[in-house]
Amino acid sequence: MSPEPLPPVAPDVLAEAVEQLSARLRKKLDAAIEGCAERAARAADGSLDVRFGEDALVTLRPGPSGAVTEAGQAVCTCLLAPRCLHRAAVLGAAPLADAEGEAETGAEAGAEGEGAADTDAVPESPEPTTGSPDPTRADAVTPGPAPEPSEATPPTPAQVRAATALWEAAAEALAAGVTAGGAVVQAELLRAAHTARLAGLPRAEAAALRVVRGLRAARERGRGQRLGDLAGAFRDLLSGAAPLASGTAGPGLAPARRTYGQGGSLRVYGLCREPVLSATGYGGVATHLVGPDGSRYTISDVRPGGLSRARGAGSASVALGGAVLDHAGLARGGLRIVGATVSPDGRLGAGRGVNATPLRGLDWSEEPAAALFAGPVGEAVAAALDAGAREGDAPEAALLGCDVQVVGAAGEYLVARVAGGGPLLRLRPAHPHPELPHAANLRRIAENPGLVLRVLGHPDLDRAATLRPLAVGPVPGEPYTLRLPEEWLGRADLGYDRLQGSHFPRAAADSGPLAPVDAVPDPLADAPLWRVRRLLETGVAGGRRAVAEAGRGADATALLAPLRRAGLGGAAQLAEALTAEADRRPRDAFGRLTDASADGYARAWLASAVHLAAAERSLVAASWS
């Protein structure tokens, strides 16, 4: 009989359980966690039991949300309970509950009378999903004006204290690395994250939870886990906590939770659908829309259910103001929304006072959709990169449209050239899951060199000249382009629609010689910045000691000399300072450390990581020009 999966555990419950352990038991915690999940069994009353020998039985009784959110929902029968190793081990083996999602659910209930229900979900992976979300539930919408700097308020004393605690916990976790970042180190981060939540710092809390999940996945050698992702999570956490801890945070670093205001009447028109599949078991759909003034919106339906939910949600009804459209119809149609409630970031609430009626859909060649394909791609990507640098987060929801000509397949991506003599692009699947048709559709397109397409997707801002297309359509006036059914209204959603042979022109392309498939330039791969990236990831994996070793003898020469020869003196100087700080361990006459703080090391690591991110952004922007 297969073991039952452990329920998610609230971060503060796990942190409290670890804090109650004695120093002797804390040393045994990581070993005790191993194997807990395999011993979980469902009891007759629906609770979950994990047995430790004959004398200890840990019982988990999740609340209505399905998560263990209170200390009393996890009990042990041993004499040391609740300050026992068994209880802390079982809680440490369970997945982390999404604290942000729980808070948003509570906010919905409180705001329902005002018609403001936040229901969008954003997955965690990078992937994108290109548009990566974080699980909550139901329906919502995106964009809106960013707050002006003058509207920002300085952090409160409680927020400064919470950010300071978060910085200290993150610095210690970074100095420890994956190898020493066990349950005790993670619990310190979780406690600091909970304090940040109570102080009204949801973005800082979410960044800390990403670090803890990354540490767990790396220690478990989880499939698909990349050290680069964990390094990015540490960079986001430290760069967000540092200005808050100093009391000099700028606008947007200490945002309040999402609140809704009256948006009046809106008209929105569908652009495409995107499957959403989260690493934490959520699935659904995000339907992208545009307003008459060019504003972008996204109505989402993301719930627990994983892949099956993501596949089925594409044709699920849109739960917004009694609208009779499903997501498939909305992607090619439109809505007139009366009494709209809109959050500062543009998400639309589905409250009681919202009414929506269907509108005729627009072709991509009609305004306002046509404006998405009219501007230079280089300028659009540069603006998205600048927005990400200001906000501290990658603007993963950015949409980019352009006309391209297919060159051919090269490995796992499709090569295409932007129309009008633009750059060569790599088109990669928006989501790589084999059960979603993204990759199959791109392979079929690659079989038609010379084909001219209109593409709408997410630019991958971590790779050189890479676009993850969500939908494709024919280019008006071009003879060798797609032939789509009339009911598709001139576009195919690559995550839901499957392109067939009848959708492609039968005549051969008459477009002259095409560029070599392998001729796509990659300034990121050509630059020696990968040496800095490897140093930072070495620190994430092995901690402070590993970085110190990398800065000694021949290793230091191999690291710094290529950077200086390439004219990257700033990167070399910061890398040298990082290795020197990692190796700085002053001791007194008795061999005791006189400065055991990881603060200086964390600042040196962060300086190098921020410089690397800025340099890579510049190279990515150049690859689109």
For 342-372, give one letter per residue: b (16+ CB within 10 A) or e: bbbbbbbbbbeebebeebebbebeeebbeeb
Q: How far apart are CA 92 and CA 438, in angstroms?
A: 36
Confidence of residue 68 (pLDDT cuts 50, 70, 90): very high
Confidence of residue 184 (pLDDT cuts 50, 70, 90): very high
Min mean pLDDT across 92-101, 146-155, 477-486 is at 146-155
Q: Which pLDDT belongs to residue 99?
A: 57
pLDDT above 90: residue 86? yes
Strands 282-290 and 400-410: unpaired
- pLDDT, tens digit, for every residue of 210-224? 999 999 999 887 655
pLDDT above 80: residue 143? no
- Residue 334 vs residue 341, higher pLDDT: 334
Cis upstream peptide for 8 (omega within 30°): no
Q: Which pLDDT belongs to residue 348?
A: 66
- pLDDT, tens digit, for every residue of 423-442? 999 999 999 888 999 999 99
Residue 596 neighbours by CB distance under 10 Å: 10
22 burial level (CB within 10 Å; 0-12, 13-18, 19+) = exposed
pLDDT above 70: residue 263? no
Residue percentage of the chain with pLDDT more than 90: 54
Confidence of residue 256 (pLDDT cuts 50, 70, 90): very low
Prediction pTM value: 0.81
pLDDT above 60: residue 112? no
300, 305, 309, 311 alpha-carbon torsion, rounded to 10°: 120
Q: What is the DSSP letter of 125?
A: S
Q: Tell me the mean pLDDT in the region 243-270.
A: 68
- pLDDT, tens digit, for every residue of 584-613? 878 777 777 777 789 999 999 999 999 999
Confidence of residue 445 (pLDDT cuts 50, 70, 90): very high
In this structure, which amino acid lies at residue 17?
A
In this structure, which amino acid lies at residue 49?
D
Min mean pLDDT across 21-35, 240-254, 450-464, 601-615 is at 240-254
Q: Tell me the mean pLDDT in the region 328-347.
A: 79
Q: How far apart are CA 213 and CA 121, in angstroms?
A: 18
pLDDT above 70: residue 242? yes
Q: Tell me the mean pLDDT in the region 339-353.
A: 67
Residue-averaged pLDDT of the chain = 83
pLDDT above 50: residue 396? no
pLDDT above 70: residue 391? no
Confidence of residue 514 (pLDDT cuts 50, 70, 90): low
Q: If residue 415 lies in a helix (H) or strand (E), which one and from where to where? A: strand 413-418
- CA distance to 213, 443, 549, per residue, from 538 (Å): 18, 36, 10
pLDDT above 60: residue 271? yes
Q: Which pLDDT belongs to residue 482?
A: 94
Length, in residues, of the chain: 625
pLDDT above 70: residue 259? no
For 557-586, give one letter per residue: b (16+ CB within 10 A) or e: eebbebbeeeebeebbbbbbbbbebbbeee
Min mean pLDDT across 23-37, 236-250, 524-538, 601-615 is at 236-250
Q: Tell me the mean pLDDT in the region 183-210.
A: 93
Q: Which pLDDT belongs to residue 138?
A: 34
Give the residue carrying structure tokens 């003599």: 421
For 157, what's the count of Cα atoms within 13 Å in the CB-facing half-sphere? 0
